[in-house]
Amino acid sequence: MKKPFFYFLMVIMMVSIIQPAAPVKAASFTDVKGFKDEIGYLTDLGIIRGFPDGTFRPDNSITRLQAVLMLMREMKVEETDIPDPGFNDVKPGSAGYQEIAAASHLGIISGFSDGSFRPGGTLTRAQMAKILVNAYQLYGIYPYGFTDVSENYWGTEFISPLAANNITVGFDDGSFKPDLAITRAQFSAFMSRILEPEFRPYNPLVKDTILEMLFEMKLLDYDVHPTKPIIYFLDGVDNVVVAFNYETYEDHIVKLPLPAEKMDYANGKLYVTQLKRAHSSYWWEEEQEGAVAVVDAESMKYLHSINVATDPFDIAADDEGNVFLTSGSGQHVNIKSYNSTTGEMLSDVRGPYEKSYIEMHPSQDRVYLIDTTVSPRDLEVYPISDGKLSAGKDSPYHGDYPLTTDLTIPEDGGYIFNGSGNVFYSSMTPSADMTFAGKLDRGYTSIAFDVPNKEFYTSNKNTFVQAYNYDTFRPSYQLETYGNVQKLIYHHDALISLTEFKPKGTPKTLIGMETIYFK
């Protein structure tokens, strides 16, 4: 699957293999020296048996049939009503016919252009990568590549995920040797590494994440679907909203009528700021204009836009379709709310300075605001009732704590996290609201929360993620990434890191999507 939105994509599916003979314990093989533990492991599982003379013949090239037999035995495929694979050299009743038919039916193997399968032929390292990746549904991009595997080589989409999962490290000279025939011992080692991670070699180039995608985009903003594995990207290169399913790799794109800057998701809709001219401190409020585009987040259809009497900078939305906007121009300005269906202005409250960020509280009864252009920086809160804002209230501090422009509220609504590392309470009790709660050991530029499991994660545009305990705010462990982290998302038991990454031999800096599936 390849679409214009993607710079590069590798998606793979997987399977398994077998080999007949009387069971022999690994220690009984008279000729096994290298990969002895791996061969013993597969022998104990009944996947390999060796030959009647007590040998394994590890240095012999593995045949295509032998590899299929090993995989099918491990997968315990017992289907009997399997269609004929149609290979002209594998007929019903011939050795391994049933296993070859099953592997073909499962999409693990394929034949040659002349219609043959060549069961007695040797298996190259590239062919090995293909059947193992197909069999075990391995995926991922190994961004460093190999010196003898080009981007256009047919086996790249299989060799890369094999390396990304640390099943292969290649040779010391940086090559993979894709056309080299693989031995019985080597195939056993690769298969063992998939089944038992303890057999995998140490490779400092392989990180804790799986690099799944590389996008060519200017990432302006993002949001996530509350129940589906979908991330919404606001791309400044093509001025589009993209819905990307990170399980199926499907995408849907909506072109926007005016330049976009910020976006918010609420109750099945995406609300996107639309700019009618550049921000300016001298574009006074009475002259300002802009718009908000409304997109159906389920069907990914552009619905309509409403015109607003402000230069929209940041946006928050509630489940009733009301949008709340700060201004990007005019110095001392107002925060306003609109009905996104009718375009009616619901409230116009004096208070913030231009280019302030806002964050909706999960209860949707208030928005918090942080200044970006004044010093000392300050927090404010604005109550909401029926889509209407009330006068704001300053935090009890003024310059007591250094603040960055970041403002994030976790799903339980109990705290306000700031990129400086300072944490404040979010409370309905006015005297407790925005009071100091604690401090992290370092600042950050992105943060994501897994509140049910009492963890959260931060990064500061570097190549690692710092994990913390949610109850104590104390650091617990780190995870390495391939690229410099720009945004962190915790969604559906997965930590998703959007990173800036420049692949080997590519002049462009791309956005990488790296994932860790904790489940």
In a domain, 126, yes or no: yes
Query: Which residues of the chain, if any, have pLDDT below 70?
Result: 1-28, 79-80, 519
Using CA atoms, how far residue 155 sits from 35, 117, 187, 193, 212, in Å, is 25, 18, 17, 20, 17
For the chain, give the number of residues: 519
The per-residue pLDDT for range 94-131, each reduced to its tens digit, is 999 999 999 999 999 999 999 999 999 999 999 999 99
- Count the Cβ atoms, other than its own, within 10 Å of residue 256: 21
User: What does the angle CA 375 – CA 376 – CA 382 come to, to the nearest 5 degrees?
Assistant: 100
**What letter represents residue 425's amino acid?**
Y
Judged by DSSP in three states, 432 sits in coil
In a domain, 308, yes or no: no
In a domain, 451, yes or no: no
In a domain, 88, yes or no: yes
328-331, Cβ contacts within 8 angstroms, sequence gap of 24 or more: 328/261, 328/275, 328/279, 328/354, 328/355, 329/279, 329/280, 329/281, 329/282, 329/283, 329/284, 329/285, 329/288, 329/354, 330/281, 330/282, 330/283, 330/284, 330/285, 330/288, 330/354, 331/281
- Count the Cβ atoms, other than its own, within 10 Å of residue 491: 18
On whether the pTM is more than 0.75, the answer is yes
In a domain, 186, yes or no: yes
- Count the Cβ atoms, other than its own, within 10 Å of residue 261: 20
Q: Are 294 and 287 in contact (CB under 8 A)?
A: no
In a domain, 142, yes or no: yes
Q: Are 416 and 397 in contact (CB under 8 A)?
A: no
Q: Are 457 and 209 in contact (CB under 8 A)?
A: no
Q: Are 297 and 232 in contact (CB under 8 A)?
A: yes
In a domain, 75, yes or no: yes
Query: What are the phi and psi torsion angles at 446 (to 5°)?
Result: -150, 150
Q: 243 has which bridge partners?
A: 232, 252
Predicted local confidence at residue 120, as pLDDT: 93
User: What does the angle CA 366 – CA 313 – CA 385 come to, to the nearest 5 degrees?
Assistant: 20
The per-residue pLDDT for range 181-211, each reduced to its tens digit, is 999 999 999 999 999 999 999 999 999 999 9
Predicted local confidence at residue 3, as pLDDT: 35
In a domain, 341, yes or no: no
54: containing domain: 6-206
Query: What are the phi and psi torsion angles at 380 (to 5°)?
Result: -140, 160
Q: How many domains does the chain have?
A: 1
For the beta sheet containing 436-439, the strands, ordered from the edge strand earlier in sequence to the opposite edge, are 415-417, 422-425, 436-439
Predicted local confidence at residue 398, as pLDDT: 83
